[in-house]
A = this chain, B = another copy of it.
Amino acid sequence: MPDFAEPLARLITEFKRLPGIGQKSAQRIAFHVLRASRDDAQHLSQAILDVKDKLGLCEICNNISDGQQCQFCRDPARDQHTICVVEEPHNIVGVESTRQFNGLYHVLHGTLSPLRGIGPEQLKIKSLVDRIAHGSVEEIIVATNPNAEGEATAVYLSKLLKPIGMKVTRIGMGIPVGSDLEYADEVTMWKAIEGRREI
Binding site for B on A (CB under 8 A): 1-8, 10-11, 13-15, 17-21, 25, 27-34, 36, 38, 40-55, 64-66, 70-72, 75, 88-90, 92-93, 96-97
Contact = CB atoms under 8 A, between A and B. Distances in A.
Nearest to A34: B51
**Secondary structure of the A contact surface, majority rule:** helix
A53 to B, nearest CB: 8
A102 to B, nearest CB: 10
A5 B48 contact: no
27 contacts: A1-B71, A1-B72, A1-B75, A2-B71, A3-B92, A5-B64, A5-B66, A5-B71, A7-B51, A8-B51, A8-B64, A8-B66, A10-B47, A11-B48, A11-B50, A14-B47, A17-B40, A18-B33, A19-B29, A19-B32, A20-B25, A20-B29, A34-B51, A34-B52, A36-B52, A41-B51, A45-B46
Contact of A8 (B6, B25, B32, B55): B55
Contacts of A75: 1
A5 B65 contact: yes
A90 to B, nearest CB: 5
Contacts of A21: 29
